[in-house]
Amino acid sequence: MAKKLLFYRCPVCNSLVELIDNGGHSLTCCGQSMELLVSKKDGEGDEYHQPLLKHRNGLLYVEVGSKPHPQSAEHQITCILFVTKQTVRRSDIRSGSSATAVFTDKDHGDVYAYCNVHGLFKTSF
């Protein structure tokens, strides 16, 4: 089973935080509590956000959505993460670039895609 990641977003400035070690305190930003992001899982996402996976030649190819997601500065997939039991790997996506990433393949894990407008999407394998 992959490590469980917790992401928080500021409702004011939209800063995104990954919680590495939970000390039991709430996170604040811009004077407000940050919101815990709940990822949409396999089958809950839509054709623009769900991470799609292909395993080939020892690599894991990730493409976000069966239809191209907008990649403008205002609305884009900003990162794709591949999480296993012991590792977290992140590929940052620049605006204007396609929402794709390539990781070294593993037997199982969770792949997350973060859209700065629509939130967090996850595919497990």
Shortest spacing between CB 40 and Fe ion, in angstroms: 11
Give the nearer residue to Fe ion in terms of CB position, either 10 or 115.
115
In the bound state with Fe ion, the residue whose beta carbon lies nearer, of 6 and 117, is 117
Of 84 and 116, which has the nearer Cβ to Fe ion? 116
Binding residues (CB under 5 A) for Fe ion: these are 115, 117-118
Least distance from C-beta 71 to Fe ion, angstroms? 10
Number of Cβ atoms within 10 Å of the Cβ of 89: 16
Query: Please, what is the minimum distance in Å from the beta carbon of residue 75 to Fe ion?
Result: 6
Report the residue number whose CB is nearest to Fe ion. 115
How far is residue 85's CA from residue 71's CA, in Å, rounded to a whole number? 30
Q: How far is the CB of 84 from Fe ion (least distance, A)?
A: 26
DSSP for the chain, please give it. Answer: -PPPPEEEE-TTT--EEEESS--SPPPEETTEEPEEE--B-TTTS-TTTSEEEEEETTEEEEEE-SSPPP-SSSS-EEEEEEE-SS-EEEEE--TTS-SEEEEE--SS-EEEEEETTTEEEEEE-
Q: Which is nearer to Fe ion, 82 or 114 (CB)?
A: 114
